[in-house]
Amino acid sequence: MATTPFAPLLQSIIRHRGVTGVLLVGEDDGLVVDSVLQVGVNGAAFAALTASLYRKARRSAEAAGLGRTGYFELDAVDGRVLAAGKNELVFIVVAEARINVGLLRVELLKAVERLP
């Protein structure tokens, strides 16, 4: 269970159908700041690897002259990972493949806006 001031934000996302984990992660170190995870979801792995992916996308996009990256999404055969960052934190949503991506994207961006 979430134990930090970020708990309400995490809870607002985890309640969506198909979401199996929500994590707030340091972008540079890939360590979990807070998380709400269903049983069996490897939070440390999602945190480290998604933060790394997000960081890579952000740096690559900047190097390619595309400016700051706001939203990131990885789709796979059996699941999706959504991420958005602010102030060196990355909000990560782990979900099943069949979800309403549009709705989750909007909810995620709203949650990120509310980060301090």
Partner 1 sequence: MADDIRALSEALAVDPSSVAFVALAEALRKRGDLDVAARVAAKGVERHPSLVDGHDVRARIALDRQALDEAAASWESVLRLVPDHRDAQKGLGFICFQQGRFAEAAAYLAAVAEQDPDDASVAAALDTVRAAAMAGPRSSAAVTAPVADERERSTTMIPAVEEPAPITASGVAPFARRATWSRADAAILFDDLLTDVPGAAMHLDEAGLVLAGRYLTEDGRDLAAEVGAQLSGVSDEATRAMRHFGFGAWTQIVFETEVASVAMAPVGQGLTLVAAARTVPLGFLRRLLDRAADRIRAWVGE
Partner 2 sequence: MRMSVAASWVEAPLKQFVDDARVHYAVLLHPSGQVLGQYGFARSVDVMTACALAAAIDASSRALGMLVEGKAFPSLHYAGRERQIFLAEVPAPGGRLLLLAVFDWESSLGLLQLYHEEFRARVGEMAPPIAHNAPAIAADFEKELNKNLAVMFGRA
Q: Which residues bind partner 1 (CB under 8 A)?
A: 42, 45-46, 49-50, 52-53, 56-57, 60-61, 63-81, 97, 102, 105
Choice between 12 and 52, CB closer to partner 2: 52
29 binds, among partner 1, partner 2, none (CB under 5 to 8 A by kind): partner 2
Show contacts of 37-46: CB within 8 Å, 24+ apart. Answer: 37/94, 41/94, 46/21, 46/81, 46/92, 46/94
CA torsion, points 107, 110, 111, 114, in degrees to nearest 10? -170
Using CB under 8 A, list all residues that contact partner 2: 25-26, 28-31, 44-45, 47-49, 51-52, 55, 59
